[in-house]
Amino acid sequence: MINEAIRAAVVVVLLAFQLAGVAWADPVTVTDKSGRTVTVEAPVRRAILFETYEVTSALGAWDRGVGISRYAFDNDLVKAGRPGLRAEVADGGAMADVNVEHLLALNPDLVVVWSLNPGLVSFLEGKGIPVIVCNPESPQEVMDALRLQGRLFDRRAEAERAAGAIRAMLDKVAARTRDMVPADRRHGLWMLGKPTVVGARNSVAARIMVAAGIDNVAGDIPESWAEVPVERILAWNPDIVFIWGWARFEAGDIVSGGQWQNLTAARRGTVWKTPRWSTWSPRLAPMALWMASKAYPDRFRDVDVRGEIDSFFRAVYGIPYDRVSPLDP
């Protein structure tokens, strides 16, 4: 009788915890972008995010954050989806100039960074704080980052929903471009901070271009980005150019710039600058659709591109497309 009473009491206590929404510690082990094996006790409750905060926005997981990169507060998507975020989480600084005393005072149980500052990773590890290096290099790795944060922040359903929306949009693009013969494919180039710094084979931005059915002329360079001579770009002669949103030059500088005027893209006016969207984000899917519609207008003539993008933002972020910086101003 006593044992049965004890068992019944245990069941009641467990049920009470479940009804109260208490989550049990669930270790999550991951091999991060630096090749390190990291184990984190989930659900994480005090994360600091220096990157992938657009992933966190898709999951609605700001209740799991205590600090964020200072750049996130000016991010159009973050501001639209969480207008009061500055009052909710601390300014964590930036990867290049982190105030480590301030960081430690936030008492994080996870810090998410990208691979700019390996010294910071070593320092935080030495303090017993789990650090995950995350800089996705493909659409699949963005979906992997979603699912990882879904596990870490107890947002699995939201992660699957967002990953499914990415896959569905990329599949729609592929359905309209996959049957093209090589001769019909556009040859594109992704320009970064200056025209001679380009997205190479492992650049997620250049891989978005490839997902749009466009051949990357810099795809034979086995890095994420590279600085190349002007003469090499002229020899590639891309017929489409996309420019990183943070670049300090505009599409007009390529179209009318003296040394670039002979590029096919310049002569045709097929040069576009993207808004300041992160490509380590679910937003890579609507960017791929937009790129494909620019490269192959005849194949997307019957597609309401803006409407598709609006539906994506509403499904993934819960906001309309017109709340963020548009791909076509």
User: CA angle 174-180-182, nearest 5°?
Assistant: 120
Residue 286 lies in a domain: yes
Same domain for 98 and 123, yes or no, is yes
Q: Are 183 and 62 in the same domain? A: no
Q: What is the pLDDT of residues 12-67, one digit of tens each?
A: 434 444 444 444 568 999 999 999 999 999 999 999 999 999 999 999 999 999 99
Peptide bond before 130: cis, by omega within 30 degrees of 0? no
Domain span holding position 75: 24-160
Residue 166 lies in a domain: no
The domain boundary, picked from 127, 160, 193, lies at 160
Reported as a single tens digit per residue, the pLDDT across 224-246 is 999 999 999 999 999 999 999 99
Helix then strand then coil, % of the chain, to nearest 5: 45, 15, 40
Phi, psi of 225 (to 5 degrees): -150, 165
Buried b (16+ CB within 10 A) or exposed e, 285-314: bbbbbbbbbbbbeebbeebebbebbbbbbe
Query: Are 50 and 184 contained in the same domain?
Result: no
- State pLDDT tens for residues 52-69: 999 999 999 999 999 999
For 215-223, what is the mean pLDDT? 96
Determine which helix (DSSP H) or strand (DSSP E) holds 290, and give its type and residue range. helix 284-295
For residues 266 and 154, state if they share a domain: no
Torsion of CA 55, 57, 62, 68, to 10 degrees: 70
Q: How many domains, in total, are found in the chain?
A: 2
Q: Is 179 found in the same domain as 239?
A: yes
The CATH number covering residue 31 comes to 3.40.50.1980
The pTM of this model reads 0.89
1 compared with 286, residue with greater pLDDT: 286
The reply to whether 189 and 138 lie within a common domain is no
**Same-domain check for residues 56 and 188:** no
